[in-house]
Amino acid sequence: MEQNDTVGGRDSAWREQLRGAMPAKERTAIPRVEMPQLDGAYRVTCNEEVNQGLRPEMAVTEASRCLDCPNPTCVEGCPVGIDIPGFIKNIQRGNIAGAYAVLRRTSALPAVCGRVCPQERQCESRCIYNKMKKAPVAIGYLERFAADSAREAGVPAGEMPQSNGKKVAVVGSGPCALSFAGDMAARGFEVDVFEALHEIGGVLKYGIPEFRLPNSVVDAELDGLRAAGVRFHTDTVVGKTLSYERLLEMGFDGLFVASGAGLPRFMGIPGENLIGVMSSNEYLTRINLMGAGRPGSDTPVPAARRVAVVGGGNTAMDSVRTARRMGAEKAFIVYRRGEEEMPARVEEIHHAKEEGVEFMTLANPVEYVGDKTGRVTAMRVQRMELDEPDASGRRSPVPVDGAIDTIEVDLVIVSVGVSPNPLVPDSIEGLEVTSRGTLAVDENLRTSLPLVYAGGDIVRGGATVILAMGDGRKAAASMAESLLK
Ligand SMILES: Cc1cc2nc3c(=O)[nH]c(=O)nc-3n(C[C@H](O)[C@H](O)[C@H](O)COP(=O)(O)OP(=O)(O)OC[C@H]3O[C@@H](n4cnc5c(N)ncnc54)[C@H](O)[C@@H]3O)c2cc1C
C-alpha cells in the first residue's frame, strides 16, 4: 500500500469503502461522544488529569460520525491546517499509526492541542454538523485519542532527517518555538532552542496545570522533537546570559524569537502591593514549576481560605481551580462582564463550576484592603452592567452608580492579561516594536532585522497555543525559503 493511501489520500479505496459502509443519515443520528472525566468532588483533592480520554470503541464510533466532507471546512478552522478528516478516518478503520502520521505532518504537539485548543471556536465551530443544528464531531477528543494511543503503542514520534548544513537558533520553548523547531528540523536544519527557565515547554509547563495537561504528555512530544535532532538548552536568558551578538558569532544562519508574553498586567488600583495580592503567572509558576504546593517548599504560596481570582480567561480558570486544589474553601472568579463574554474555554468554565468555584460576574475590583501587617483582608468590588458592544464586539461593562460591595478575602490572584517581556526587544539593536510592546513583523513574520523572525505571543500579545503554533509553521516556511534559495 502506498504511503499516501495508508495515511490519508482522499480518494483512496479504503476511504471509499468507509463512505459506503454506513449511510450519512445513520452517521448523523449517532450522538456526540461524552468525555469520561473524574468526579468534581474527588478531583479537587488531587492533581490528576480531569479528562480521562476516550476508550477505543468510543473513538471509533465518534470517528464514524465524520462525514468526510468533499470540502472539509473544519480544516480551514485549524491554524496549522491539520487534515482533520484524514486522521479521523484512520481512527475509524483502526489505523492509529496512520492517524498519528497525518497529525504529525502539520503539528508538532497533537497530544497537547487535543487537550487545550479552544476547538469550539476553531475547527469544531466549522464542522458541517453545526449547520444541521447538531453537536459537531469531537475533533479535539479524537486528536487526543490518536496522539495518546500512538504514544502508548510506541509509534515513533520523529526521526532524524538529512542535514542541509544550516543551523538556526530559537528563543523560548513554548508552543510557537516547538512548532517552528519541528518544521525546521524536518527540513534538515540544525535547531538549537534556548529557554530562560529550567524546564522546556513555556506556558505548557509553567502555566497550564497538570490536571489539564500532564507534564508527561508535554515531555513525550518533546522527545519526538529530540528524536528529530532538536537540541534544547535551559537556564539561558537570551539578551542577558546569551547575547544576540554571541549567537551570531556561534554561526547561526537565522534566529526565531518566540519569547511569549510573560509579563503580568495589573489594574493600577489601590492595595495591589499588599501581601496576598499576586499575578496568575506568579501563582501558577510557583506551584507548577517550583513545587510551592509541596510541604516544606522554599517558595510557598500563602495558605488561603477565601481566594478571589480577577479575570475570565483560561489563566483565571487555571488559577481558581488550582486554588481549590490548594485547599481554598471558597474560590471565586470576579469578572467585569457576563459569563457569556468570558474568553475562557467553555469546558474550563464548566469544570470550574463542577469543582465548586463560584462566579461573581458583572463585578470589578476597585480597591484591596489590608490589615496592619500589610496583608490583604478584603476587596471592594464595583457592580457593573452591560452597555453597547465595544470594538471587540463584546458588550462593554459600565459601573452601576453607588453599587460597591466589600468582600472578605485572604488571597487575590490577578489575571487580567499579559504583555511581552521587553528583555529581548531591548537587547537586540534595531529590532522594531509596536506601541503595544510586541515585535513588529511583516506578513511572513520577518522582523526589522535580516533573518530574524518572530511569532506567537511576543507578536500577538496573549493569544492561544494553536495560533502560536501556526506562527511557528509560517515562520519556518518563510525562513527556510530565504535560507535555502
Ligand atoms: C495559565 C495559562 C493557561 C492557558 N490556557 C490556554 C488554553 O487552554 N488553550 C490555549 O490555546 N491557550 C492557552 N493559554 C495561552 C497560550 O498558552 C499561549 O498563547 C501560548 O503558550 C503562547 O506560546 P508562545 O510559544 O508564544 O509563548 P510561551 O508559551 O509563553 O513561551 C515563551 C517561552 O519563552 C521563554 N523566554 C522568554 N524570554 C526569554 C529569553 N529572553 N530567553 C530565553 N527564553 C525566554 C519563556 O520562559 C517561555 O518559556 C494559556 C496561557 C496561560 C498563561
The answer to whether position 159 is within a domain reads no
Tally the C-alpha atoms within 13 A of residue 478's C-alpha that lie toward its C-beta: 21
For residues 176 and 172, what is the distance between their CA atoms, to the nearest angstrom? 8
In this predicted structure, the answer to whether residue 28 has a pLDDT above a threshold of 90 is yes
Residue whose CA lies nearest to ligand 1 atom number 12: 464
Do 253 and 273 reside in the same domain of the chain? no
Domain limit, last residue, from 103, 120, 152: 152
Q: N- to C-terminal Cα distance for the chain?
A: 35
Residues 255 and 296 in one domain: no
Residues 348 and 213 occupy one common structural domain: no
Transcribe 397-452 into DSSP letters: EEEEEEEEEEEE-SEEEE-S-EE--THHHHHSTT--B-TTSPBP--TT-B-SSTTE
Same domain flag for 194 and 232: yes
Q: Say what percent of the chain tops pLDDT 70.
A: 98
Cβ atoms of 468 and 261 within 8 Å: the answer is: no
Question: Is-contact 191 167, C-beta < 8 A?
Answer: yes
**Number of Cβ within a 10 Å radius of residue 277:** 23
From 398, 418, 438, the end of a domain falls on 418
- 227 CA to middle of ligand 1, Å? 23
Rounded to the nearest angstrom, the distance between the alpha carbon of 410 and the centre of ligand 1 is: 28
- Same domain as 308, residue 226: no
CA of 27 from ligand 1 middle (Å) equals 39
Cell of 84: 482533520
Domain range for 479 is 167-262+420-484
What is the mean predicted confidence (pLDDT) over 282-287? Answer: 96
Q: pLDDT confidence of 3, banded at 50, 70, 90?
A: very low
Q: Are both 140 and 173 inside the same structural domain?
A: no
Question: Which cell numbers in the block locate residue 221?
Answer: 512530544
Q: Is 189 helix (H, G, I), strand (E, B) or coil?
A: coil
Report whether pLDDT(132) > 50.
yes
Answer yes or no: are the C-beta atoms of 445 and 177 closer than 8 Å: no
What is the grid cell recorded at 110?
497533537
User: Last residue of some domain: 369, 396, 418?
Assistant: 418
Give tens-digit pLDDT for 435-478: 999 999 999 999 999 999 999 999 999 899 999 999 999 999 99
Q: Of the residues 170, 203, 315, which should be mutated to test ligand 1's pocket, given the most ligand atoms within 8 Å of the CB?
A: 203
Residue 37 in domain: yes
pLDDT at 390 over 90: no
- Give the SS3 label for residue 171: strand
> What is the C-alpha separation between 415 and 358, in angstroms, rounded?
16
412 in the same domain as 431: no
Residue 160 lies in a domain: no
Q: Ligand 1 mean position to 33 CA, how many Å?
A: 30
Chain mean position to CA 268: 27
Give the percent of the chain with pLDDT over 90.
88
Counting other chains too, the contacts that 449-453 makes at CB distance below 8 Å and 24 or more residues apart are 451/253, 451/254, 451/255, 451/479, 451/482, 451/483, 452/254, 452/255, 452/256, 452/257, 452/428, 453/254, 453/255, 453/256, 453/257, 453/478, 453/479
User: What is the rounded CA–CA span in Å between residue 226 and residue 204?
Assistant: 17
Same domain, 134 and 255: no
Is the distance from CB of 219 to CB of 173 less than 8 angstroms?
no
Cα angle 471-246-218, degrees, rounded to a multiple of 5: 40
Q: Does any domain span residue 462?
A: yes
My answer on whether 232 and 172 are in the same domain is yes
Residue 53 lies in a domain: yes
Candidates 165, 97, 412; CA nearest to 270 is 412
Name the CA radius of gyration of the chain, rounded: 23
Strand partners, 370: 376
Q: Which grid cell is 402?
A: 453607588
Tell me the CATH number at 275: 3.50.50.60
Say if residue 67 is in the same domain as residue 131.
Answer: yes
Please report which confidence band the pLDDT of residue 425 belongs to, taking 50, 70 and 90 as the band edges.
Answer: very high
pLDDT at 270: 98
Tell me the per-residue pLDDT of 118-130, one tens digit each, with 9 for 90 and over.
999 999 999 999 9
Whether 411 is in a domain gets the answer yes
State whether 104 and 189 are in the same domain: no
What letter would DSSP give residue 390?
Answer: -
Provide the CATH number for the domain around residue 105: 1.10.1060.10
Give the chain's mean pLDDT.
94
Question: pLDDT by residue (tens digit) across 182-202?
Answer: 999 999 999 999 999 999 999
Residue 301 lies in a domain: yes
pLDDT in tens, 55-87: 999 999 999 999 999 999 999 999 999 999 999
Pairwise pLDDT comparison (100 vs 392), residue with the higher score = 100
Which ligand 1 atom is the nearest neighbour of the CA of 212?
Answer: 8
* Per-residue confidence band for 1, with pLDDT thresholds at 50, 70 and 90: very low
- Per-residue confidence (pLDDT) for residue 413, from 0 to 100: 98
User: How far is residue 406 from each of residues 275, 323, 400, 413, measured CA to CA in Å?
Assistant: 18, 21, 15, 17
Total number of domains in the chain:
3
Which residue from 422, 449, 466, 80 is spatially nearest to 261, judged by alpha carbons? 422
In 3D, which of 315, 307, 317, 325 has the Cα closest to residue 347?
317
Residue 293: per-residue pLDDT: 82
The phi and psi torsions of 114 (rounded to 5 degrees) equal -60, -20
Whether the predicted pLDDT of 5 surpasses 70:
no
Q: Is 414 a member of any domain?
A: yes
**pLDDT value at position 6?**
59
Q: Quote the pTM value.
A: 0.94
Residue 389 has which C-alpha cell? 458592544
Q: 100 pLDDT exceeds 80?
A: yes
Same domain membership, residue 322 and residue 354? yes
Please give all residues whose beta carbon lies within 6 A of any atom in ligand 1, as ranges. Answer: 116-118, 171-177, 194-197, 202-203, 207-208, 237-239, 258-260, 262, 284, 314-315, 318, 345, 421, 423-424, 456-457, 462-466, 468
